[in-house]
Structure 1
Amino acid sequence: MIRKFSFFLLALACIQAVGQSSETAKAKPVFENGEAQLVEAFSDYENWIRHDLWVETEFDTDGDGQPDRMHVAVTRPGQTDSEGLKLPVIYVSSPYFAGVAGNVEGLFWDVKHEVGEQPPKPRVHPEVVRRGERPIISNSHIETWVPRGYIVVHSSSPGTGLSQGAPTVGGDNESLAPKAVIQWLTGKDNGYTSPDGGEKVSAYWSTGKVGMTGTSYNGTIPLAAATTGVEGLEAIIPIAPNTSYYHYYRSNGLIRHPGGYLGEDIDVLYDFIHSGDTAKRAYNNKIVRDTEMANGMDRITGDYNEFWAGRDYLNDMEPMKTALLMSHGFNDWNVMPEHSYRIYEAARAKGLPVQIFYHQNGHGGPPPLSLRNRWFTRYLHGIENGVEDDPKSWIVREADKRDNPTPYPDYPHPDAEDVKLYPMKGGNQMGDLSLVQNRMIALEKVVDDVSISGDSLAKSSNSDHRLLYQTPVLTKDLHLSGVAEIKVKMASSKPACNLSVWLVSLPWNPDNKAAITENIITRGWADLQNHESLESSEPLEPGKFYEMSFELQPDDQIIAAGQRIALMVFSSDKDFTIWPKPGTELTLDLSGTYLSLPVVGGNDALKAATR
């Protein structure tokens, strides 16, 4: 065990220790059990050095003819100057550090209109007032990592705070900006003491090993940087990252809003974060928001197009070579759990070092500190702690605390198998979910009414506004792990309609607050107009049946004995979709409809649990 000294005691010891070399007196990182430990010499915040600078990028997005420069702040132990110590860097970037727009009336799109129609009125465009004083951009992560032998670096993303350029919400500059900062941290001569001057500054205190982390948008930027393949970015820990803005604002062709932000779209987020230079905002608004976004985001059809493809990081994975630890909540209905899973799956297929941490709560929530510490210790300090041989999947079980996840060989669980369940007639009351398909045509009808919430529909014993099909009561716990999929054969009375699907456990918990996490297993939404392609839709012929398959959100949940698993099909989901007038009729043909459920132990486990 290495003894820890305060700076006063350390100085005294150096004077009194006759014959002791200056090398042994120097502070350095300490590792135990494969993790970086707190070092007292690095914990004295009064000895931390804090300064800011600007890093020049390779792009010009604010139209002034000069490469945009990013505002960067550094916090490092004093020993990086006094003792010439070099340390690895943990880097966090965000569009939020300088403040955001308030939730002003009219900020969001009006959702009260028919599906497939233009929103009835324009939005309000607020102006963000920048906050913050130099040289500090943010204090996040500093107290965790600086005392453990890291330097922490923050930067404001393009067009926010004192960073130049324009916010693009997933455009190329939001990948190239952190790339430029990482290049500076690994020795490139592109750092300046001011936003416009020529005086250079170097990162002489950096080992050239960089890790990134952050939550939500701040978790998206590490992935954006990693997709550039930039040298020196060794490890990232994205927490609840938005990995595709299409998947954030659309779902299988449907206009679908993130939970809690009804009417938000990508241009709303642009306005929300645009805290950069007020003199450049008019140009940025014209080029980005009022041209590129207005022409590309398409709030009428919801189709996947070139605009959205350019903001989907799954399409940019080829250059990535960074070790990846993902983190997400299974009940995150803001940035939904598919965002992390789709990237984890692709990185694993590339052979990259990967782990995934899932918990049962909502938005945010990092992995336990020990997992993060081991990850950064291995890839930034180069300590051979065997993290690459640890379990690939960490799942917080339902009753456990977040810092006590259960390890599994992978996610989904390797023993999970898809089991098909078929709905039987009676869905307006309570139909059965059966392992045996009914091949006879059986039609069931649901009438749309957005005024009724999804949880109210699930709790109703009888409703014309939803179809509900349930398994027998479980006699044993049943473990679900992976991605459920539904296939529907359906007709609509109108050329366009919302289609919403919930998978729930019944009976419903009477405590509404707990029910959102305890009773909703997973959800999904789709536009039946996109039954053939995500890229193109066509108006529905009223009364004509169409077949469509789509996935629900990933999940890993143990459904307790005494519960039933139930499939609910309805139209408008008032917390997520457009609000058309009530009355659209959807007709489901049960003979062409099924649910594919990922069950650990497969068909045998489901049969054993429903005897």
Structure 2
Amino acid sequence: MTSLAPSFLPTVMPSTLRAAAIPAALLLGVFAACRPSASPATAPAGTAALPAPYIITDGQSQVVPAFADTTQWIRERLWVETEFDSDSDGKRDRVHVDVTRPGPTAAGLKVPVVYETSPYFAGTDPDEGLYWPVKQELGDTAPTRKLGKGAPFNPGRTRIANSQVRNWVPRGFAVVHSESPGTGLSQGCVTIGGMNESLAPKAVIDWLNGRAKGFTTIDGSAEVKATWSTGKVGMTGTSFNGTLPVAVATTGVKGLEAIIPVSPNNSYYRYYRSNGLVRSPGGYLGEDVDVLYDFVQSGRTETRALCHQKVRADIIWKGLDRRTGDLSDFWTKRDYIEQAKGIKAAMLTAHGFNDWNVMPSHTTLMADAVRANGVPVQMYFHQGGHGGEPPIGMMNRWFTRYLLGVNNGVERDPRSYVVREGAARTSPTPYAAYPHPDAALVSLYPVKGGTQVGGLAFAPVAGQGSEVLTDDVNQSGAQLATAASSKNRLLYATPELKAPVHLSGTARVSIRVASSKAAANLSVWLVELPWPANTRGAMDPNGIITRGWADPQNAKSLRVSEPLVPGQPVTVTFDLEPDDQIVPAGKRIGLMIFSSDKDFTLWPAPGTVLTVDLDGSSMSLPVVGGKGALNRALP
């Protein structure tokens, strides 16, 4: 019997795939085009015939001997001239590029390109003491930090990277790498989200299409042309290397047909701030834009002093603002979600729902923005942390469709794949969309008793008044969640579930809160109770459903902080990070409210008192099946 599953999925679907995932009729339509063609070497109907020796099976380009013969691979390096002069030397910056292409290109075969660019290829600053001290009273000027020296400059490097090569060259793609401006053997300045980081890979794509010039040396005039390139380019990479495909896609450059960003930072404000609050990325307490700037320095030593002044001092330090955390033009210029209208490349994007470094909202918000352009978007999610590519078959179908032009039906594949709890990352469950199409927001309201464990009700309970907590950054979130009683947090939970509850989408909280001081951190975790005994710190996904942070001073505007009047409440409404998780029977879903989060926020001295008005506070929870499903799961 022919399987309806795409070829990158197991023939037998995981047991968690139920009717709620995709109706049978839709599955038939979605997967019909994914079946193997009658002749593996024949392109599907409606597809221009591919030249020998390409072989397409199950809509994917296959490894073939002529492409896989490493002794025939052609490797070359060059410098591509950009359209900018970021180091102010009076000449356009050139970026360092290397190419690996299959042997048949020497005989005239033209091939598409899989391209990865990065500021990391030439090394990073080994000093781990560059982070900002986080022991800081809110609203005070930030203490000074140690400045980095960057990585040693190595002028003798002849090879940029080998990533992507083993996967794609044997399948008939060339692989291209480039080093970001100011790193490795590329000219220019590091800017961390500046426009030159978008325009540098654009220049490389222009070179692959004959619109920009490449040279054999960094300062010479002997040209190199990409006569072997079809001009069709796909980009991929993880973390910063996944950010840059999105950055260049915002330019709308012709020839960039598809991108596969993995855990991309699509907004530097969202990476280093949260709803007006100064907040570190998980695992890197005290990191900020200028720390990352120092960290990736690996370019020419003689250029660094100029770049430190022009970029770090004159731009980053003037825009950083670790005192208020407010949104500003400095940040919007480094927000690719705001620039997403320029994206025309088809996007397969991947993220972990427990990635507390680059949080999953980066991907879900970008997917929404790109989808609004009428561009094909597919999403792959897993339950782990930072990184994690889609299965190679998914990536292959994407590049085969958009770079080789094979009509493999990828546009009709499910729009969302989620690796269910306990499943292998190579066996995701398909869904028609993310969030789950049957998910609906369910309003829940806190019930008094939060210093121990209060309740969560479907309707407001009138006349409850307020409950208080006292900030103490010395108490970790995990300690607060496990405490039977605590004066340092408020915790409200459902009864124990008698059936699993599937959460899919973005939870939102609205908290009416007063502070005893003019500034306060506000942290919210959505947790499973009882808290698992085997958690291994703040980045461990066990126990955490999702979380979020906000500055009550920004209750009205992200751009303007208004100091709190002690004792006078404000209503702070914000989204938690998106999630897709099945909470098992026997657990309780808990809403935990506290102040300073020692793994993410600044560390003011303990003692600030927050008063939460229960009558003015609520949560919206995205439940598959809505209120009825949650109600049926409760005793």
TM range (shorter): over 0.9
* TM-score normalised over the length of structure 1: 0.95
Secondary structure at 2:572's aligned position in 1?
strand
Residue 177, structure 1, aligned to residue 200, structure 2: yes
* Unaligned stretches of 5+ residues in structure 1: 4-23
CA deviations on 1:313-354 (whole Å, 9 max, x unpaired) are 011112211100110000000000011111001111221101
Partner of 1:608: 632
Partner of 1:109: 132
Deviation at 1:121, TM superposition (A): 2.6
Residue 95, structure 1, aligned to residue 150, structure 2: no
Deviation at 1:47, TM superposition (A): 1.5
Correspondences of 1:203-602 after superposition (within 5 Å): 203-513=226-536, 516-602=540-626
1:212 and 1:54 map into 2 onto residues whose CA distance is: 19
Partner of 1:41: 66
Secondary structure at 1:119's aligned position in 2?
coil
CA deviations on 1:346-388 (whole Å, 9 max, x unpaired) are 1112211010101000000000011000000000000000000
Deviation at 1:120, TM superposition (A): 2.4
Contact 2:502 2:624 in 1 (8 A): yes
**Shift in CA distance, 2/605, structure 1 to aligned 2, threshold 3 Å:** closer
Secondary structure at 1:410's aligned position in 2?
coil
Deviation at 1:125, TM superposition (A): 2.4
Contact 1:254 1:498 in 2 (8 A): yes
Secondary structure at 2:77's aligned position in 1?
strand
Amino acid at match of 2:451: N
2:93 and 2:464 map into 1 onto residues whose CA distance is: 62
2:40 and 2:443 map into 1 onto residues whose CA distance is: 58
Contact 1:138 1:154 in 2 (8 A): yes
CA deviations on 1:195-247 (whole Å, 9 max, x unpaired) are 11111110001011000000000000000111000000000000000000000
Deviation at 1:133, TM superposition (A): 4.7
1:603 and 1:2 map into 2 onto residues whose CA distance is: 49
Secondary structure at 1:235's aligned position in 2?
strand
* Unaligned stretches of 5+ residues in structure 2: 1-38, 42-48
Amino acid at match of 2:414: P
CA deviations on 1:265-322 (whole Å, 9 max, x unpaired) are 0000000001111111111000100110011011001001000000000111122111
Q: State which of 65, 71, 74 in structure 1 corresponds to 2:96.
A: 71
Q: State which of 142, 148, 164 in structure 1 corresponds to 2:165.
A: 142
Secondary structure at 1:304's aligned position in 2?
coil
Secondary structure at 2:338's aligned position in 1?
helix
Amino acid at match of 1:219: G
Secondary structure at 2:308's aligned position in 1?
helix
Partner of 1:153: 176
Contact 2:80 2:212 in 1 (8 A): no
Identity %: 57
Contact 2:448 2:454 in 1 (8 A): yes
Deviation at 1:28, TM superposition (A): 2.1
* TM-score normalised over the length of structure 2: 0.91
Amino acid at match of 2:172: G
Amino acid at match of 1:595: M
1:514 and 1:334 map into 2 onto residues whose CA distance is: 14
Q: How many residues align?
A: 588
Amino acid at match of 1:157: S
Secondary structure at 1:567's aligned position in 2?
strand
Contact 1:50 1:135 in 2 (8 A): no
1:114 and 1:189 map into 2 onto residues whose CA distance is: 51
Deviation at 1:132, TM superposition (A): 7.9
Secondary structure at 2:169's aligned position in 1?
helix
CA deviations on 1:88-129 (whole Å, 9 max, x unpaired) are 000000000000001343x11011111121122333222321
1:63 and 1:287 map into 2 onto residues whose CA distance is: 9
CA deviations on 1:247-275 (whole Å, 9 max, x unpaired) are 00000000000011001000000000011
Q: CA RMSD in A?
A: 1.4
1:54 and 1:529 map into 2 onto residues whose CA distance is: 48
Secondary structure at 2:536's aligned position in 1?
helix
2:230 and 2:605 map into 1 onto residues whose CA distance is: 61
1:52 and 1:384 map into 2 onto residues whose CA distance is: 33
